[in-house]
A and B are shown apart, each in its own frame.
Chain A
């Protein structure tokens, strides 16, 4: 199961990154009649402006993927730093702040931010707001759990500074949990990026992205259903594949294979 999901995630990510080079037509230029159904020359037909849907699909994943990865990375980084500090110092201040942030429904600030900031920046900031508190909680508990372990004590007894102990001993010990957590933050980021794109609040490139295609092609769903269904399917698959891979990572992280 985990292998299938990992393979699926790898294929999807490869196609998404290499897609623009594989597109048979210019994804930004009209080449056929609007919403023309699929034909031999245009496998998935045309979109609202008569652009080739297949070419736009191949070109339209990279922006979303990169944006989601950057957002997820930022959320995990902020959450990890906060979690290490909270778990090591034992202070309740950071954790309480994180819990308060969690109480805010994330779409609300995301919408406000999307109006005030460039769309992509809004996605990053909103993902950090929504994801970092969760990561912080996970990393805080993991850090507090290993604080009294023998290897951390041994590091203190050889005079290592706190930062070195955190980076050399604590962080590698909780790395499996972090990898899994990064996957979960990616799903959050993808959902936020898609939601804002569907609402037309992000700056999608002229070649389009999958979420923007949902908005553009909604009106023509009866004429060319593929223009609406396939991007929706790809979004769902990408998020499924990454979250399944994250869960596989999580099981690995909790070491159920580490038998005595």
Chain B
């Protein structure tokens, strides 16, 4: 009987460095053949609980009381624990692409996992290739390193590593937050296939109530999840003047051949435009090209808000300060948006000095004021990114971008690593900045986020189509 107990935690208490209690008296049970969901908002301790269950709490945290058992035996720690996780646990982490080795082709990384989970012989290579193809990665991409894949493609490769060899325990940490809908569907399918097999246990950490309702047999709620704001109440803007006009932009494919995409688009003052499209379709590249970080093959950009005449130069290095401050980009990964060595206030004050020409003290004061407007108090503003949450980091990154007086904000998946409540707060923040005239072009996978946009542009097969918002699901 105990051999079929699955993963069980009894009254566990996790304490921090100074004895501060992070989780207390927590019990949960993932039964064989069933799917357990752990839900709760950002900061409620989902990831900590998950790490406690897997016996790998980060340094500084420890299991002070209670027990965690896998199939009736305590979960091993230290070296034995690593061995156990390698052979028994498929783990799709919260930021899955960052768990890939940067310098190794993705196919080899999947083969390695299969070998760890006991696969031998010549068929392993074929098995790994089949798995990657089933998840939508062409054979041509298998020999690439993660850096040469798009964000979504790298996430698929990480999913393949988690699913390889059908591990006895599968753990998915926020599978829908960063994946495009297709890839999220693949992950959900994999979970569904495991259901009912008594030798397989699945744990799902998610704030996505739709996914949890769809997949989970049991739900352990850590704290209530704040609902997304009803998109119907968002006002839609029309009739404001154009701020950025893009004519006949052509971006070449890095591998050559036919162009990656061609685009014509106009952004109006105060508008939120969502940019949707499958992974690898070139959303990030388009935003980078507009920001001047990627050279287009052809096309003109007109930025009417800049105090200059004529089209915007393509490379950022040739743009004037007035042009640079008007169009800014925020990226998708809160881990690397902010310099680990700089305090939040320093990061926001810097562009005020270089682009807006303020002195040291006024720049600092204005940075603090802006941060507090955006919900980052003085105490947090004095912290370095290592001691800030993902949502706070993204707010600081947005503050840094808009601080010198941006008219256009290019936002590349800025909500993808955040939970629903934090996403809502970040979008509310953008709404407030838009009330002052900021235009936002937001690349996203999340249909709930796109539902708040004034307009939706869909990028597919290399062209941009305007999508009718009223028909949007």
Contact = CB atoms under 8 A, between A and B. Distances in A.
Contact of B316 (A156, A168, A260): A156
A159 B339 CA distance: 17
Nearest to B57: A259
Given A156-B293, A157-B292, A159-B324, A258 B386 contact: yes
Interface residues of A, number: 24
B342 A172 contact: yes
Nearest to B147: A148
A175 B354 CA distance: 24
Interface string A142-153: 000110011101
A259 B335 CA distance: 11
Contact of A158 (B293, B324, B331): B324
B333 A150 contact: yes
Nearest to B315: A156
Given A156-B293, A157-B293, A258-B386, A151 B337 contact: yes
Given A172-B341, A255-B340, A154 B401 contact: yes
B47 A260 contact: yes
B317 A156 contact: yes
A160 to B, nearest CB: 6
B347 interface: yes
Given A154-B400, A158-B351, A158-B355, A172 B339 contact: yes
A79 B250 CA distance: 41
Interface stretch (B58-66, B105-113, B217-225): B58-66
B59 A153 contact: no
B347 A151 contact: yes
A159 B61 contact: no
A203 interface: no
B59 A157 contact: no
Interface in A142-187: 145-146, 149-151, 153-160, 168-169, 172-173, 175
B328 A157 contact: yes
B60 A150 contact: no
A97 interface: no
A257 B60 contact: yes
B339 A151 contact: yes
Interface of A: prevailing SS: helix
Nearest to B333: A150
B368 to A, nearest CB: 19
Nearest to A164: B354
B162 to A, nearest CB: 18
A169 to B, nearest CB: 6
B336 interface: yes
A67 to B, nearest CB: 31
A91 interface: no
Nearest to B329: A157
Contacts of A160: 354
A256 interface: yes
Nearest to B320: A159
B255 to A, nearest CB: 19
A150 B293 contact: no
A158 B341 contact: no
B354 A150 contact: no
A153 B338 CA distance: 10
B270 to A, nearest CB: 22
Contacts of A155: 350
B82 interface: no
B321 interface: yes
Given A150-B333, A153-B293, A259-B58, A158 B338 contact: no
B317 A173 contact: no
Nearest to B410: A157
A151 B316 CA distance: 15
B291 interface: yes
Contact of B341 (A153, A154, A175, A258): A175
Contacts of B339: 151, 169, 172-173
Interface in A218-260: 255-260
B404 interface: yes
B134 interface: no
Contacts of B336: 146, 149-151
Given A173-B340, A256-B59, A258-B386, A153 B351 contact: no
Interface of B: 47, 58-61, 94, 102, 291-293, 316-317, 319, 321, 324-325, 328-331, 333, 336-342, 347, 350-351, 354-355, 386, 390, 397, 400-401, 404
Given A150-B330, A160-B354, A259-B61, 15 more contacts: A150-B338, A150-B397, A151-B337, A151-B339, A154-B329, A154-B401, A157-B293, A158-B354, A158-B404, A159-B324, A172-B339, A173-B340, A257-B60, A259-B60, A260-B47
24 contacts: A146-B336, A149-B336, A149-B337, A151-B336, A151-B337, A151-B338, A151-B339, A151-B342, A153-B293, A153-B329, A154-B400, A154-B401, A157-B316, A158-B351, A158-B354, A159-B316, A159-B324, A160-B354, A172-B342, A175-B341, A256-B59, A258-B340, A260-B47, A260-B390
